[in-house]
Structure 1
Amino acid sequence: MERSEMVILSLVLPLLLTLLALVLVAYQRRLNPKAAAASQPLPPGPTPLPLIGNLHQLGSLPHKSLARLARRYGPVVTVHLGAMTTVVVSSAAAAREMYKEHDAALAGRMVYESMRYERANEGSIITAQPGAEWRMLRRLCTTGFFAAARLDALQGVRSRCVAGLLRRADDAGGSGRGGVVDLGRLLFLTAFNHTGNLVLSRDLLDSKEGNEFFHHAGRIMEIVGRPNVADFVPALRRLDPQGIRRGMEGHIRRALEIVAGFLNERIQRRDKEGSGDDKKKDLLDVLLDFEGDGVEEPKKLPFDTIVKVVVEIFIAGIDTTAGTMEWAMAELIKHPEVMKKAQAEVRENIAASKEYLEEKDVINLPYLKGVINETLRLHPPLPFLVPHKSLKPCTLLGHGIPCDTQVFVNVWALGRDPSTWPEPEVFDPARFAPENPAAADYKGHHYEFLPFGSGRRKCPAIPLVSRLLPLVIGSLLYAFDWQLPCGADPTRLDMSERVTISLRKAVPLRVLAVPHKSWAK
């Protein structure tokens, strides 16, 4: 071999060997994505302190604090909440990759200490890890109870609950004689009453057991929403220094006992009278009628599973629903020009002879739907959704996500991202107008707008929400004119937030309700 050829070979051979090594590494990573993810560093984030990590940086409104950190460190940020490594997703691009590429890997649930009561995750739709039982319950909710045909058959339930809300608002306001209406509380009671009728076919507040259940359900929601140091410092879990787990156990046990009593009554009644009209069955009937394959699924749902699912429906649905309705009314009162336009749409499209808005009317109320969507954009019920957990390592926007990492999707930040939403702090229902080609919906396919999540862990009750929210808000607009007491300036309405189990208005909405001539009879 000539000298010139040897020189060329000595230069080219290392390059070829390096290229071959890179090809082999890439091939190995394709075969073993866990190893690839493990080799990637975590997303950037602030330096943690010993023991507490970054807890001191969260403040009382962590969704806002983490949005600020995202502006500094990027759309995917790592924070250490004590010993709990947490990755926060804060952009539509990151959310899109998470749900489209890693939905299965990130479909786990991080279970907090307040929910670790006896056998808490068995038979749970919310906190159970993906598996045959969870898939069965999820399918039962989506194709059984929250199916369109069944919800349409239960329109009467929603109409009766809304009529009750209007009567209570009229009574509290003294039929327009200056009484102040605590609208937030009325909406909470309405959400509870609606859930009781939808799930159990009961007006729960009319019975001793129902009122007791209302008390315990409220306490459970309050306790679950408290920050718990034992979640972040494992050494303290057994001590339960704040008494959160102990407090939860008493309330959850009694709530389960009350629902078990309701279930026993239903079983006895069905034994005597049969199961009734299939289309008008409530959730309890759907759960009792379940018939599995006997292989991966039980032939019938266990008694305890039915009880737990019912309690979860109450806990998950009441505070979030009531909070969204209160935020919507607060935004309308704060923006009189939006209120006027929404009321005009409702009143002009409803026959003067009708006393109440009906669900079939909503299709002709696009601006009202925009009000609902804009409320959900600015005030998502759960700012981080229900926290995810990585079941296996994966890579997100080039960053490694190790197994057992907590993952937040900051949907509050997504809804206020100026790169997606022009003037994001402005309440503008017109951005969701049907003629707007960029208008998003909340069904989980527009990653800049995910108030109910996306993928396999998306909220299964979206079909119900899409019926209930416009019916309630539209009915309140149709029946009353709303104003603040003492002639207060609506543009200065306090819109500060507080975080409980959901994102709620810090200062309850107290207003004057003046019956409109279209409703007052």
Structure 2
Amino acid sequence: MASPSAPKDKFFEKIINPYLAELSIFVADRRLAHAALVERGAALADRPTLASVRIMGENDNTITRASYGPVWRLLRRNLVSETLHPSRVRLFAPARSWVRRVLLDKLRDESSSGGAAVVETFQYAMFCLLVLMCFGELLDEPAVRAIAAAQRDQLLYITGKMAVFAFFPSLTKHLFRDRLRTAHAMRRRQKELLVPLINARREYKSSGGEPRKETTFEHSYVDTLLDIKLPEEGDRPLTDNELVILCSEFLNAGTDTTSTGLQWIMAELVKNPAIQEKLYEEIKATTGDDQEEVSGDDIHKMPYLKAVVLEGLRKHPPGHFVLPHKAAEDMEIGDYLIPKGATVNFMVAEMGRDEREWEKPLEFSPDRFLPGGAGEGVDVTGNREIKMMPFGVGRRICAGLGIAMLHLEYFVASMVREFEWQEVAGEEVDFAEKNEFTVVMKKPLRPRLVPRRS
């Protein structure tokens, strides 16, 4: 969608699925996105139904899938207030510190044998952190990797193989029954791995919160889910199946997006050594040489660090689209009608790279977010205006916006403080993109890491 003066074929597209007669609308204009998601947000706060969910016999009781209503409000409010609230986030500071050590140790090991393939290390480190936050238990590497493999296999399979069930499900469920069997087997594997961890937290809570061992944390996301009752369904607790799916959602939402963001940002710092050096000087001036690590308080004193992260998210948003919205009623946005039931997609990358709003948008220039720059004071929530929206905007904005920014700033600062990131001959940085669950580097980053500190 676009203003009337804009070329309609660029900013407003309608696609009708000939099998389902469903209308899909793609919005690339930031002003119309603001009108739709903020000014008329309640009418676009719903989600289209996923055929794969229904055919798997599951319900929509998750934060990303639930309709805009009481169940969604309950689940989101629980996540935001009980796990992502700043007071709760501070409880996980020891977990972040532990994961920082894991990350840096693995990067050292890999760099000693040549160029480091950092994306797998980023994914593993972020998954360690999210597992700990979810289940309140510091697990060993084989256990973490088993859960990560089950999560990733299931995620890629659902996104890559299950879309076929949107077409005549009564027929395709027979034609593609092998796919259904595989999907059910993957869900069973998830339950085998996650239900014992959920039961361990039940035991922990029933014992009055007495840690079973030194690796047990006092708080976890699962603790809050075990307290939830669904008033619309007779105050029943969440089932084990619902708990597994909610935990899976938590792990997926915070792992791939953050690790993808880290890879793009570090790739830009490798390609732009002057920007990396300027960032390092800010980090060094803030932390000094004797301090063991960058702290959560330190990163709030680093405006250039925040500018680097924001510029990375502007130029390389991990998701080029936010999750689809569904119109709850006929609505007019600008000169366009969005009919009730239409699926509406918002083109995140197009907005962040719009040359009408950003000077030289394909250049990596963190200075644009400093005082006097075009992005000074940019509001990533989009409440005032939308110039970039890597976390979405409006009522369905990503609940983890705050903690995602914290993790990106904390780990970028930690890695730049520890190593100089250099380009390797034959492994030059290539910014070509590839679609997976997120939009990743087609050629993974393999830098040379030169230690800065003994």
TM-score, reference length from structure 2 = 0.89
Cα distance in 1, alignment partners of residues 177 and 294 from structure 2 = 47
Equivalent residue, structure 1, for 2:214: none
* Whole-angstrom distance in 2 between the partners of 1:240 and 1:343: 57
- Structure 2 CA distance for aligned equivalents of residues 404 and 204 of structure 1: 44
Equivalent position amino acid for 1:501 in 2: F
**How far does residue 351 in structure 1 lie from its aligned partner after superposition?**
1.6
* Alpha-carbon offset, residue 243 of structure 1: 5.7
Question: CA separation in 2, counterparts of 1:163 and 1:272?
Answer: 31
Tell me the amino acid that sits aligned with residue 448 of structure 2.
L
Does the CA-based 8 Å contact 1:193-1:205 persist in structure 2? Answer: no
Q: Which amino acid aligns with 2:330?
A: P
| Residue 82 (structure 1) shift | 4.6
Answer yes or no: is the 8 Å Cα contact 1:228–1:242 preserved in 2: no
Output the CA distance in 1 between the equivalents of 2:163 and 2:74. Answer: 34
Paired AA for residue 76 in structure 1: F
Tell me what 2:124 maps to. Answer: 189
Change (3 A) 1:258 1:161: same
Shift in alpha-carbon separation, 1:499–1:111, aligned structure 2, 3 A: farther
How many Å separate the matches in 1 of 2:175 and 2:391? 31
CA contact (8 A) 1:204 1:211 kept: no
Counterpart CA distance in 2 for 1:432 and 1:509 is: 25
1:383 matched to 2:320: yes
The answer to whether 1:499 aligns with 2:438 is no
| CA shift digits 1:115-170 (9 cap, x unpaired) | 44534333211112122111100111112211111102221111111111001111
Equivalent position of 2:188 in the other structure: 253
* SS of match in other structure, 2:447: strand
Superposition CA RMSD, Å: 2.6
Distance of 1:245 and 1:501 partners within structure 2? 20
Q: Which residue of 2 aligns with 1:200?
A: 135
Structure-2 separation of matches of 1:94 and 1:479? 43
Tell me what 2:260 maps to.
323
Aligned in 2, Cα 1:118/1:234: closer, same or farther, shift over 3 Å? closer
Which residue, out of 260, 266, 274, partners 2:201?
Answer: 266
The answer for unaligned runs of 5 or more in structure 1 is: 1-42, 45-69
- Pair 93,171 (structure 1): closer, same or farther in 2 beyond 3 Å: same
Shift in CA distance, 123/411, structure 1 to aligned 2, threshold 3 Å = same
Larger Rg: 1
Task: Give the residue type in structure 1 aligned to 2:28.
Answer: S
232 and 116 in structure 1: CA distance in 2 versus 1, 3 angstrom threshold? closer
Contact 2:381 2:394 in 1 (8 A): no
The equivalent residue for 1:78 is: 14
Question: How far 1:343 moved relative to its partner?
Answer: 1.5
Q: Which amino acid aligns with 2:141?
A: D
Distance 1:282 1:232, change over 3 A: closer
Alignment equivalent of 1:462, drawn from 390, 396, 401: 401
Partner-residue secondary structure (3-state), 2:450: strand
Counterpart secondary structure, 1:127: coil
CA displacement at 1:304 relative to structure 2: 3.4
The alpha carbon displacement at 1:234 in A equals 3.6
CA 1:456–1:448: 2 relative to 1, 3 Å: same
With over 3 angstroms needed to count, the CA separation of the structure-2 counterparts of 1:454 and 1:348, relative to structure 1, is same
Please list, as runs of the form range in 1=range in 2, the aligned pairs for 1:105-504 lying within 5 A after superposition: 105-174=43-112, 179-208=114-143, 210-226=144-160, 230=164, 233-234=167-168, 237-239=172-174, 241=176, 244-274=179-209, 280-290=218-228, 294=231, 298=235, 300-434=237-371, 436=373, 438-439=375-376, 440-445=378-383, 446-485=385-424, 487-488=425-426, 493-504=429-440
Unaligned runs of 5+ in 2: 212-216
Larger deviation, residues 85-94 vs 215-224: 215-224
Deviation string for 1:400-442 (max 9, x for gaps)? 2122211110011010111111111111111111454752132
Report the AA paired with residue 432 of structure 2.
Answer: S
Could you tell me how far 1:237 is from its partner in structure 2? 3.8
C-alpha displacement at 1:459, in angstroms?
A: 0.6
Change (3 A) 1:388 1:334: same
Distance of aligned partners of 1:194 and 1:302 in 2 relative to their CA distance in 1, 3 Å threshold:
same
Counterpart contact for 1:387–1:407, Cα < 8 Å: yes
- CA gap of 1:406–1:71, structure 2 versus 1, over 3 A, is same
Q: What amino acid maps onto 1:356 in structure 2?
A: E
Distance 1:315 1:244, change over 3 A: farther
Moved more, 150-159 or 246-255: 246-255
Tell me how far 1:365 sits from its aligned partner: 1.2
CA contact (8 A) 2:326 2:343 kept: yes
Q: CA 1:132 to 1:179, structure 2 compared with 1: closer, same or farther past 3 Å?
A: same
Cα distance, 1:401–1:242 mapped onto 2, change above 3 Å: farther
SS of residue paired to 1:395: strand
2:26 paired residue among 88, 92, 111: 88
